[in-house]
Amino acid sequence: MKKTCRGAGLLVGLASVIALPLVGAAPASAVEADTWTLHGGNQYCVKPDRGWPRTYAVGAVEGTWSSTITAGLRKLPAGSTSDEVSTLAPGTNVRDPEDGGLTINIWLPLSIAPAPAGTYTAEFWADDGKVTQTDVVTIKVSEEC
């Protein structure tokens, strides 16, 4: 009789080990999913006849990512350039629990060309190979800077 009880106990234990992960656990892909957000929010004000020949656009990727993220600028006003991209190795960037600060981890050289007065909208982008996120870059060209 002892063998039967012991055998039944082993079967119940084995069934529990197999069934529990299926019942209440989230799928592995959901637990390990990348969750990151691009923060840019760059704003510039430049004189029409001067532009801003040497500056940077800065941003931050917040969260966790398992693939390399590439970031850059596009849709700049005519004559303006940002010839480089920034790459972030897989990693994590989270807000400081004490002050809420977030480490800037993207620096992109930017040259804003002289342009007619107006407000121009460019795009800050980041891509991990699966998802592309964007943020607005506002460039105001005005004598009132």
pTM value is: 0.74
pLDDT for residue 16? 36
Nearest in space to 74 (alpha carbons), one of 141, 142, 140, 134 = 134
Mean pLDDT for 79-95 is 96
Interval 15-50: pLDDT, tens: 333 333 333 433 434 445 789 999 998 999 999 999
What three-state secondary structure class fits 132? strand
Task: Assess contact for 102 and 56: CB atoms under 8 A.
Answer: no
Task: Assess contact for 96 and 120: CB atoms under 8 A.
Answer: no
Interval 123-141: pLDDT, tens: 999 999 999 999 999 999 9
Task: Assess contact for 79 and 136: CB atoms under 8 A.
Answer: no
